[in-house]
Amino acid sequence: MSFGFYYAALKILSGFLIQSDNFFLKPHQLKPINSEPILLRPEQPVWVLVFLLAVIALLMGIRIFYRKSFSELVSAFFSFRYSSQLVRDDNILLQRTSIILSIIFNLTLALFLYQALTALKWNLPFAAEGFRAYIFFALLISAIYAFKLIILKIAGFVFDITQEMETYVFTVFLTNNMFGLLLLPVVVINFLYPSFIISQFTGVAVLCIAGIFFLYRLIRGVLISRESPQYSPVYLFFYLCALEIAPLLVLVKVLIPH
């Protein structure tokens, strides 16, 4: 009885295996598109994670050591009068917080541009890719705002409007810092979900937000210039064209492929 039971079970199992082989190995109409498997989540370079952790560490440092200064900067972003007061106070802790936030802005914007480079296949000078492309973006951003800072300082000294230029420089970097904080979640999402990196919706949303911040900075710059005794609409127009709009057009010309 035991032998008959095992014989019947083995026969049923062998019949099932034959049927399953015929089912899975029979020809079908589906043709493979790719010769290799496609990863659902492509690998991210390790250095990207390192820079993201560095940015988060800097934010944690601000949260722990410069909480009050950070709150004052946020308030200054929404209040023109309050920002002017902070410039006159010349608080050293506020300057340290602003420098750290500027570093965060630089690293975050460079990461976003690197992600856009990877997704949109931009052609950079010297065929820069990967980590070199990120360094290129970081140095480019630093050079642009360092040049702007030097020009504004010189213009303030030459035209004897040092206080107004100090306020405008503070406004420029304050606007950049707030934009960098807003851009950080986008960079983190692009890192965690590479399949959604720089989608059409994300790109348009970031461009719209950047345009709003840029326009907001220009409006505050006009308000600052109107408080100066040397205010001139002609000089203001030349400044906006030479140091605000022209560099932006050059940057777009370099980054957007033809």
Q: What are the residue ranges spanned by the domains of the chain?
A: 46-255
Query: In residues, how long is the chain?
Result: 258
Residue 256 has a pLDDT of 60
Neighbours of 101 (CB within 10 A): 24
Contacting residues for 256 by C-beta, under 8 A, at least 6 apart:
122
Asked whether the whole model's pTM tops 0.85, one would answer no
Contacting residues for 149 by C-beta, under 8 A, at least 6 apart:
169
Q: How far apart are the first and last CA of the chain?
A: 82
The residue whose two tokens read 């989608």 is 199
Phi (first) and psi of residue 39, to 5 degrees? -75, 135
Residue 109 has a pLDDT of 93
Q: What is the DSSP string of 84-150?
A: HHHHHHT-HHHHHHHHHHHHHHHHHHHHHHHHHHHHHT---GGG--HHHHHHHHHHHHHHHHHHHHH
Residue 37 has a pLDDT of 63
Does 212 have pLDDT greater than 50? yes
For range 40-66, the mean pLDDT? 86
Q: What is the pLDDT of residues 127-182, one digit of tens each?
A: 567 888 899 889 989 998 898 889 888 888 887 888 888 888 899 999 999 999 99
Q: Interior CA angle at 251 toward 246 and 252, to 5°? A: 100
Q: Which of 55, 39, 41, 59 is nearest to 191 (CA)?
A: 41
- Give the three-state DSSP class for 79: coil
Neighbours of 145 (CB within 10 A): 18
